[in-house]
Amino acid sequence: MIILSIYMKHMKTPFPLTADILEKAEMLKIAGDPVRIRILCFMFEYKKACVTDIAESLDVPINTISHHLQKMKHVGYFETKRIGTIICYELIENSFTKTLERLIC
């Protein structure tokens, strides 16, 4: 502990719990599911797709995909567009999602 205290005296940068950190933590928590990782990898490749296309490509029931997409939209991974009765999702690309793509796909 004495050695750690010596090092800590030289460290001036605080690491406060910010809204940005909380947002990223929530996004990572939501991404930590095998089905959601597959959805993300699909969307990183295609950028936008409708629920039925994603479900068919991943061979997962539509209601399961829809449930996961809603949770992922809520934390900021996707935007939606309704075309009649069909809901399509578009990936929100930013530095966080680009880094996540390199990590998981």
64-88 residue pLDDT tens: 999 999 999 999 999 999 989 889 9
Measured CA to CA, the distance from residue 67 to residue 40 in angstroms comes to 14
Q: Examine residue 63 and state whether it is found in any structural domain, yes or no.
A: yes
3-class SS at 25?
helix
Q: How many domains does the chain have?
A: 1
CATH code: domain of residue 24: 1.10.10.10
Within the chain, which residues score under 70 in pLDDT?
1-12
Q: Examine residue 11 and state whether it is found in any structural domain, yes or no.
A: no
Q: Examine residue 77 and state whether it is found in any structural domain, yes or no.
A: yes
Q: Examine residue 4 and state whether it is found in any structural domain, yes or no.
A: no
Question: What does the radius of gyration of the chain's CA atoms come to, in whole angstroms?
Answer: 18
Provide the domain limits for residue 66. Answer: 19-104
pLDDT at res. 8: 62
pTM of the entire predicted model: 0.81
Q: Examine residue 29 and state whether it is found in any structural domain, yes or no.
A: yes
Q: Examine residue 12 and state whether it is found in any structural domain, yes or no.
A: no
